[in-house]
């Protein structure tokens, strides 16, 4: 017999401190996808990385993170969200130390992959804790606005912080700095976060776990190989294997009693649209910021610190606009914001396509970044709230994992596709005979155009799938109740 719902209790007086801890976690996992971008040139020289190994320093983290998020979400649901959070934070800090002390390329890549493994446990636990700490009402909207702003600005903060650390210390501190965040997160969780978990049967869906993990890994690896050609046997083989394994995963989830991803989470049209939009934002952030750094450092000749600081124009624009988006959300609803936001950001990306080899940051880059930041704010404030509204307590970890997984897999796939577009543009431009800077600029412009198209596609998804103001409640959400241990 399912447990009856608990009577409503007074709000936890520590909930706003808990929000600070949870937001810090989101900052860590998002900025770590980009913080090493600024440091990669130094790391490549010191560790003698090949160009392929250089890319895998980023891909290993995002791939492990995205592929294991669903399992991490279920572990958090069953084992305890606070406990999973703390273990994830501790492991993430330890993996960061290993990476910061790495003496070879393979060692650094392995450490980054291990970071992704623990981030896959940490991130869904944090978002599930946010969901159960702020279950409804105006406070929930405020909490998700704060969380969304941190998520949306984390990539740019990572670039800026990476620039500071690389300029004044060493590229290794881009990893070692995570120890500070880990200590703050662990202490904050002990003091301010309450435990919650799902009651009842806690059987794990092992076949589903294997199918989705291997499927996502094969799919992302196939997109990574696409740089050498979409029709190459390895590329086509991994992409096909990934799609087949994901289809098998869906079939398994429809039949098992305790699925890793209850399909009721994604059957709702509004929620599914939010997941797709989150994937598009992940693709734009991870892909765009990498090539922005290349343009600022290689073409415009900025050192790591000015390059990192230059990216803050987008961050500040997002932070300034987010409160306005939060006020408009209950008035206009998420559909208007999540349709208009990507279109505004796409206009900013189109601005960036007009960069030139001898151009100025202030005339060709700054304005575009500001417009992108404004547009992104109107998406990140509502998207996670829309994706999680109506999710039952027993599904909070799985749904939270899917939100994060959508962004990470979207980013990984986007980076691979954008890299293929970049290489094609560079090859075509080089054949025309301009100088190296002009060739590179043509490649970066092609990437920025592709991100603009991606954002327009996100706007179409929002306009056609986000019907009404919120998704319907998931079935059986009353069946489980939190176990608050303190």
Are 82 and 189 a contacting pair, CB within 8 Å?
yes
Structure confidence by residue, pLDDT tens digits, 85-113: 999 999 999 999 999 999 999 999 999 99
For residue 237, what pLDDT is reported?
Answer: 94
User: Closest Cα to residue 437, out of 310, 311, 304, 301?
Assistant: 301
Q: How far are the Cα atoms of 288, 310, 428, 445 from residue 357, in angstroms, in the given order?
A: 18, 17, 17, 11
Structure confidence by residue, pLDDT tens digits, 329-387: 888 889 999 999 999 999 999 999 999 998 899 999 999 999 999 999 999 888 877 88
Model confidence at 158: pLDDT above 60: yes
Say how far apart CA 260 and CA 427 lie, in whole Å: 44
Q: Look at phi and psi of residue 48 and say left if phi exceeds 0, alpha if psi is from -120 to 50, else beta.
A: left
**How would residue 11 be classed by pLDDT, with cut points 50, 70 and 90?**
low
Say how far apart CA 442 and CA 327 lie, in whole Å: 40
Tokens matching residue 270: 């509004």
For residue 265, what pLDDT is reported?
Answer: 85
pLDDT above 70 covers a percentage of the chain that reads: 90
All domains in the chain, ordered by first residue: 15-204+258-465 (1.20.1250.20)
Place of tokens 């151009």: 359
Place of tokens 């306005």: 324
> What pTM was computed for the model?
0.78
Burial track 235-267 (b if 16+ CB lie within 10 A, e otherwise): beebbebbeebbebbbebbeeeebbbbbebbbe
Structure confidence by residue, pLDDT tens digits, 425-480: 888 888 776 788 899 999 999 999 999 999 999 999 999 998 754 444 444 443 33
For residue 100, what pLDDT is reported?
Answer: 93
Average pLDDT, the chain: 83
Are 478 and 3 a contacting pair, CB within 8 Å?
no
For residue 103, what pLDDT is reported?
Answer: 92
Model confidence at 2: pLDDT above 50: no
What is the secondary structure of 213-238 as a DSSP string? HHHHHHHHHHHHHGGG-TTSHHHHHH
What is the secondary structure of 67-102 as a DSSP string? HHHHHHHHHHHHH-HHHHHHHHHHHHHHHHHHHHT-
Say how far apart CA 118 and CA 106 lie, in whole Å: 19
């Amino acid at each position: 017999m399912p447990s009856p719902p608990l009577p409503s209790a007074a709000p936890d007086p520590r909930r706003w401190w808990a929000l600070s801890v949870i937001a810090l976690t989101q900052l860590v996992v998002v900025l770590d996808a980009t913080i090493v971008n600024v440091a990669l040139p130094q790391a490549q020289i010191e560790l003698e990385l090949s160009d392929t190994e250089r890319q895998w320093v980023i891909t290993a983290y995002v791939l492990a993170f995205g592929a294991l998020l669903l399992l991490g979400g279920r572990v958090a649901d069953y084992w305890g969200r606070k406990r999973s959070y703390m273990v994830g934070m501790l492991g993430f800090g330890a993996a960061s130390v290993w990476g910061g002390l790495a003496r070879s390329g393979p060692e650094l890549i392995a450490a980054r992959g291990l970071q992704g493994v623990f981030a896959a446990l940490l991130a869904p636990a944090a978002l599930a804790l946010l969901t159960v700490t702020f279950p409804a009402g105006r406070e929930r909207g405020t909490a998700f606005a704060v969380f969304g702003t941190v998520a949306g600005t984390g990539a740019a903060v990572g670039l800026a912080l990476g620039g500071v650390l690389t300029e004044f210390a060493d590229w290794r501190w881009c990893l070692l700095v995570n120890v500070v965040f880990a200590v703050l997160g662990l202490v904050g969780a002990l003091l301010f976060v309450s435990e919650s978990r799902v009651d009842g049967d806690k059987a794990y869906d092992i076949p589903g776990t294997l199918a989705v993990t291997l499927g996502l890994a094969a799919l992302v690896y196939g997109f990574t190989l696409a740089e050498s050609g979409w029709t190459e046997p390895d590329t086509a083989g991994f992409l096909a294997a990934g799609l087949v394994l994901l289809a098998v995963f869906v079939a398994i989830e429809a039949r098992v009693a305790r699925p890793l991803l209850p399909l009721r989470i994604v059957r709702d049209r509004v929620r599914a649209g939010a997941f797709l939009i989150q994937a598009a934002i992940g693709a734009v952030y991870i892909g765009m910021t990498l090539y922005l750094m290349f343009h600022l450092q290689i073409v415009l000749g900025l050192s790591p610190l000015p390059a990192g600081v230059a990216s803050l124009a987008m961050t500040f624009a997002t932070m300034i606009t987010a409160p306005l988006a939060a006020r408009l959300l209950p008035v206009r609803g998420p559909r208007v914001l999540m349709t208009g936001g990507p279109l505004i950001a796409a206009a900013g990306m189109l601005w960036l396509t007009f960069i030139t080899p001898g151009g100025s940051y202030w005339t060709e880059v700054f304005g575009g970044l500001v417009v992108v930041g404004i547009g992104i704010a109107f998406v990140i404030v509502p998207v996670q709230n829309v994706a999680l509204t109506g999710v039952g307590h027993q599904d909070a970890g799985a749904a939270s994992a899917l939100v994060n997984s959508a962004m990470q897999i979207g980013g990984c796939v986007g980076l691979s596709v954008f890299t293929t577009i970049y290489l094609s543009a560079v090859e075509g431009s080089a054949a025309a005979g301009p100088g190296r800077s002009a060739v590179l600029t043509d490649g970066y412009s092609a990437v920025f155009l592709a991100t603009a198209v991606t954002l327009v596609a996100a706007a179409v998804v929002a306009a056609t799938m986000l019907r009404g103001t919120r998704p319907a409640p998931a079935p059986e959400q009353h069946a489980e109740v939190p176990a608050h241990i303190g």
